Amino acid sequence: MQTNLADFIKNTAEGQEADAILRSCVHCGFCTATCPTYQLLGDELDGPRGRIYLMKQVLEGKEATRKTQLHLDRCLTCRNCESTCPSGVQYGRLVDIGRGLVEKQVRRPLSERIVRSVLKEALPRKWLFTPAMKAGQLMRPLLPKVLQNKVPVAHDAGIWPRRQHARKMLLLDGCVQPAMSPNINSATARVLDALDVQLVVAPKAGCCGAIRHHLNDHQGGMDDARRNIDAWWPYVEAGAEAIVMTASGCGSMVKDYGHLLAHDAAYAERAARISAMTRDLSEIMPAFEDELVGKLKEKISKRVAYHPPCTLQHGQQIRGKVEGLLRAVGVDVKLCADSHLCCGSAGTYSVLQAELSYQLRDNKLKNLQATEPEMIVSANIGCLTHLQSGTETPVRHWIELIDQAL
Ligand code: SF4
Ligand code: SF4
């Protein structure tokens, strides 16, 4: 695609990156067919090719409008289009840049600004979010359905193992996950402990930065990233083998630190190292498969439907690992029809674009239920909570299934 970027952006790092991405798009439209919002709305401007065109116009100097902002807001950032694109167009990076520019040009109505500020300020702060979630869980039966959907039933975290091991890995505790589903990280620690690996949480690490970054507060997102790098670095120097992610949304973000901080002289090198040693839990576990199978008292005979989060299958391009591991331990695991499509959770999307989000959830649950599962498993806290809000079938992180069996 030919481009002619406007003076205000063409000589900046972002402008040059956006220009290279735009030029790699040949406008073939293959991506449109697999875009969830295009499938629902049938409007070219609610598909990747149309959005790329809108962003090109803004980058070339045409003033963005509320309509431009709306079409970009409706994008889930699921990056399904990246998986489909034969030309390797990095849509996710482009939409980050495009949204940032539009945000500066188009002032949102007051109500939107308030909601986005609350999400951006409250979710990443554990000291604020955890007590709020606990209060919500206590009052859950009294809450209106719209809030119940966001407040999962409280689960006990169980015991965090205290044994010391020579092999150590860092774990990103995260921000909302420990409050919403504390069993996920403790189950991970117990499973790895049984395999003689110690999981260590750096006390000063926190939100990965994805929440602020995807709400167009790029500076705030990078502040979170720098804080985490500072918190993890002493453990990296002391020999931690990897940084383990139990939420694929966070993993996708941390794997991007190297790229996002490439122009920050004080952090670029460490950010690249941190990204390089970051692993989704499903990348860690296959190396332990034989040992794990040997430790199980009996195989896990359960019928399970697996929903691969977009941040895992499209963002990190990791496919087949969770299913492979679950099959090895005896689980009858199935992918549903259209398993490449987003469940509608997409970070804060389920709050900001609720109607589309719940349509996608219901479509996803219909397909998952068609496999007649006893349990639905996934790998990202957002997907787990969103799917559970629409079904009585238990929805869990896949590591909880393995922890139970051990
Ligand atoms: S993003 Fe890729 S698939 Fe979509 S129109 Fe451009 S080149 Fe084609
Ligand atoms: S990221 Fe997802 S919703 Fe956004 S354009 Fe790509 S496929 Fe469509």
CA dihedral 270, 275, 281, 285 (to 10 degrees): -80
Q: Which ligand is nearest to the CA of 81?
A: 2
pTM for this prediction: 0.94
Q: What is the pLDDT of residue 51?
A: 98
Q: Ligand 1, atom 2: nearest CA belongs to which residue?
A: 85
Residue 156 lies in a domain: no
Q: What is the CATH number of the domain that holds 392?
A: 3.40.50.1860
Q: What is the CATH number of the domain that holds 74?
A: 1.10.1060.10
Residue 210 lies in a domain: no
Residue 197 lies in a domain: no
Residue 310 lies in a domain: yes
Q: Which atom of ligand 2 is nearest to the CA of 74?
A: 3
Instruction: Using the Cα atoms of residue 52, residue 58, residue 59 and residue 60 in order, give the sign of their dihedral.
Output: positive
pLDDT in tens, the chain (406 residues): 899 999 999 999 999 999 999 999 999 999 999 999 999 999 999 999 999 999 999 999 999 999 999 999 999 999 999 999 999 999 999 999 999 999 999 999 999 999 999 999 888 888 888 888 888 888 888 777 877 878 888 788 899 999 999 999 999 988 888 888 899 999 999 999 999 999 999 999 999 999 999 999 999 999 999 999 999 999 999 999 999 999 999 999 999 999 999 999 999 999 999 999 999 999 999 999 999 999 987 888 899 999 999 999 999 999 999 999 999 999 999 999 999 999 999 999 999 999 999 999 999 999 999 999 999 999 999 999 999 999 999 999 999 999 998 8
Dist. CA 252 → ligand 1 center (Å):
22
Q: What is the pLDDT of residue 157?
A: 87
User: Ligand 1: does its nearest atom lie under 6 Å from the Cβ of 25?
Assistant: yes
Residue 363 lies in a domain: yes
Q: Extract long-range pairs of 88-92: CB within 8 Å, 24+ residues apart.
A: 88/24, 89/21, 89/24, 89/25, 89/31, 89/52, 90/21, 90/24, 91/21, 91/31, 91/48, 91/51, 91/52, 92/315
CA distance 41 to 43: 5
Show the DSSP H helices in 74-209 as ranges.
80-84, 91-105, 110-122, 126-138, 145-148, 177-180, 183-194
Return the amino acid letter for 279: R
Domain span at residue 394 reads: 289-405
User: Ligand 2: does its nearest atom lie under 6 Å from the Cβ of 80?
Assistant: yes
Residue 224 lies in a domain: no
Q: Which atom of ligand 1 is nearest to the CA of 26?
A: 7
Dist. CA 2 → ligand 1 center (Å):
14
User: Ligand 2: does its nearest atom lie under 6 Å from the Cβ of 37?
Assistant: yes
Query: Is the Cβ–Cβ distance between 396 and 402 less than 8 Å?
Result: no
Residue 385 lies in a domain: yes
Which helix (DSSP H) or strand (DSSP E) does residue 243 occupy? strand 243-245
Q: Which atom of ligand 2 is nearest to the CA of 34?
A: 7
Query: What is the total count of domains within the chain?
Result: 2
Rounded (5°) CA angle 149-151-155: 125
Residue 24 lies in a domain: yes
Query: Is the Cβ–Cβ distance between 242 and 170 less than 8 Å?
Result: yes
Select from 105, 120, 137 the last residue of a domain. 105
Q: Which atom of ligand 1 is nearest to the CA of 24?
A: 7
CA distance 329 to 406: 11
